[in-house]
Amino acid sequence: MPKAKTYNEKRRFDETSEPAAKVFKGDVDPGTATPGETFVIHQHHATRLHFDLRLEMMNGKTPVLVSWAVPKNLPLKPGKMHLAVHVEDHPFEYGSFSGSIPKGNYGAGEVRIFDSGTYEVLEQEPGKLSFRLYGERARGVWHIFRTKDEEKNWLVRLRADERPEPDPIPILSPMMATLVREAFDDDGWLFEPKWDGVRAMATCSEAETMLLSRNHNDITTTYPELAKLHERLVCFDAIVDGEIVAMHKGRPSFERLQSRINLQNERDIARVAKQIPVSFVAYDLLYLDGRSLIKAPLEERKELLDGLVVVSDNVQVSPYVYSEGTTLYEAACAQDLEGIVAKKLGSPYRPGKRGKDWLKVKTTKDADLVIGGWSKGEGSRSSSFGSLLVGAYDDDGLRFVGAVGTGFSERTMESLLPRLKELVSKDMPFTEDPRTMGTGRFGKPLKDPVWVEPSLVAQVEFRELTSTGRLRAPSFKGLRTDTDPAECTFAALEDLEAS
Give catalytic residues, as residue numbers.
Answer: 194
Cα 279 to Cα 224: distance, rounded to the nearest angstrom: 11
Number of H helices, E strands in the chain: 6, 30
Angle at 118 between CA 116 and CA 120, to 5 degrees: 135
Cα 423 to Cα 420: distance, rounded to the nearest angstrom: 5
What is the 8-class DSSP label of residue 18? S
Element (H, E) at 404: strand 397-404
DSSP annotation string for 114-161: EEEEEEEEEEEETTEEEEEEEESS-EEEEEEEE-SS-TTEEEEEEEEE
3-state SS record for 270-337:
HHHHHHCCCEEEEEEEEEECCEECCCCCHHHHHHHHHHHECCCCCEEECCCEEEEHHHHHHHHHHCCC
Name 201's Cβ contacts closer than 8 Å, sequence gap at least 6. Answer: 172, 174, 211, 212, 239, 240, 241, 286
Name 345's Cβ contacts closer than 8 Å, sequence gap at least 6. Answer: 188, 189, 190, 297, 298, 299
Amino acid in position 497? E
360 HSE (CA, 13 A, CB side): 20
Cα 111 to Cα 318: distance, rounded to the nearest angstrom: 21
Beta carbons of 429 and 398 less than 8 angstroms apart? yes
Angle at 315 between CA 311 and CA 316, to 5 degrees: 65
CA 255 to chain centre: 19
Q: How far is CA 127 from CA 38, 51, 150, 387, in A?
A: 20, 21, 11, 74
Cα 104 to Cα 457: distance, rounded to the nearest angstrom: 50
Element (H, E) at 185: strand 185-193
Strand-strand pairing, 315-317 and 279-288? parallel
Cα 69 to Cα 89: distance, rounded to the nearest angstrom: 11
* Phi and psi torsions of 85, nearest 5°: -95, 120
